[in-house]
Amino acid sequence: MRLFPLLAALLALGCQQNIHNTEAVRQGVLEHLSGRSDLNLSSMDVSVASISFKENEAEATVSFAPRGAAGGGMSMRYTLERRGGKWVVKDKASAGSVPHGTEPGPAQPQGESAPGSPQLPPGHPPVGAAKP
């Protein structure tokens, strides 16, 4: 009978998901963005370009590009927190964006783009737009 508590503890540990991986973070970002009616995620390739974990928090740079197009995408930074067995994007998480192949520059007025900057993927809100 002394083995039962030990077996129960081992089973509980085995059932916990290791979510410290790229796909779990990507899924958290996709779930966050799926609630937005102004985005068409099915027309975008979404990938995690870089990620770092610190306890129950993850910092990720996520790349967005038009599906099937070469270049012209952009990257967004997200801060996620572990909630249960998944990652959830924290409020004010997309603190900055950097279009692929360019350096951050002065902020552009909403709806305008810098000369020579790549176009955003279809359905993507303007860079610097406030969240609803």
> How high is the pLDDT of residue 130?
57
Just give the CATH number of 17-96. Answer: 3.10.450.630
Q: CA 99 to CA 118: how far, in whole Å?
A: 7
pLDDT tens sequence across 45-54: 999 999 999 9
Average pLDDT of the chain, as a whole number? 73
pLDDT tens sequence across 65-112: 988 877 778 899 999 999 989 999 997 634 444 444 433 333 333 344
Q: Give the H/E segment covering residue 27.
A: helix 22-34
Q: CA 132 to CA 129: how far, in whole Å?
A: 9
**Residue 122 pLDDT > 90:** no
Lowest mean pLDDT among 8-17, 36-45, 92-101, 120-129: 92-101
> How high is the pLDDT of residue 3?
56
> How high is the pLDDT of residue 98?
46
Q: Kindly report the number of other CB atoms within 10 A of residue 95's CB atom.
A: 9
Contacts of range 14-18, beta carbons closer than 8 Å, 24 or more positions apart: 16/85, 17/85
Q: CA 90 to CA 81: how far, in whole Å?
A: 6
Q: What angle do CA 17, 63, 30 make, to 5 degrees?
A: 45
- The total number of residues shown for the chain amounts to 132
Question: Which of the pair, 50 or 16, is modelled with greater confidence?
Answer: 50
Q: CA 88 to CA 86: how far, in whole Å?
A: 7
